[in-house]
Amino acid sequence: MESVIFLEKISIDPPREKIYQRLGFKKRTTQISETQQEETDRFINEASFLISLKGSLLRLAIKHNDGEKIFLDGGLTFASKKLSTFLRDCREAVLMAATTGNAIMEAIKEKTRQDDLGAAVVYDATASEMADAGLDWIMDYLNHQIRREGKTLLPRRFSAGYADFDLENQRAIYDILQMGKISITITPRFILIPEKSVTAIGGICG
């Protein structure tokens, strides 16, 4: 079994278009004043400076996929027909995690306490999209590595809590990715802390 790769500093620009979409702006139909856009962009910049993206990933060979369960190297087993279908053409799975860190969450709480809800909402949207963008970055990083092996990564990813892949699987993902080393904890109900922390499973084919 391969070792977990820890990514202590993921540097990306805030995905502004996606942040605006999360805020409810539609590119061709939502009108926004210049003043409002300047303020929103300022909040996005403030939030991005508070975000410290980190991540981890692990490649695991798929030992068996019977259509209902996935049996991975290291003794890890996931029961999910949807995940089995997702990985049906793959010989390996990759588990990945990304987190924005705690400073942005404290800033969101502080803005909310100050009743600065405009800033809090933009901070929250920025953190959510940058966490997802962190997973995008990890996938791009891995794709670059595996191309040398003549392999490709599925363009989509699969997360615990989606379809029939129960959220409780988050615990196994958390443990095997050693997410405590990137300052993430997990609650008894399988919620990740800081809140803007995400995990996913990808498939490697070829």
Q: What is the pLDDT of residues 57-103, one digit of tens each?
A: 999 999 999 999 999 998 999 999 999 999 999 999 999 999 999 99
d(CA 101, CA 131): 9
| Cα dist from 85 to 88, 158, 178, whole Å | 5, 11, 27
CA distance 182 to 25: 33
* Residue 49 and residue 194 in contact, taking contact as beta carbons nearer than 8 Å: no
Please report the pLDDT score of residue 70 as a whole number: 97
Angle at 160 between CA 97 and CA 8, to 5 degrees: 5
Q: Which uninterrupted H or E stretch holds 183? A: none
Q: pLDDT under 50 in the chain at which residues? A: none
pTM score: 0.93
Looking at domain 5-205, its CATH architecture is 3-Layer(aba) Sandwich (3.40)
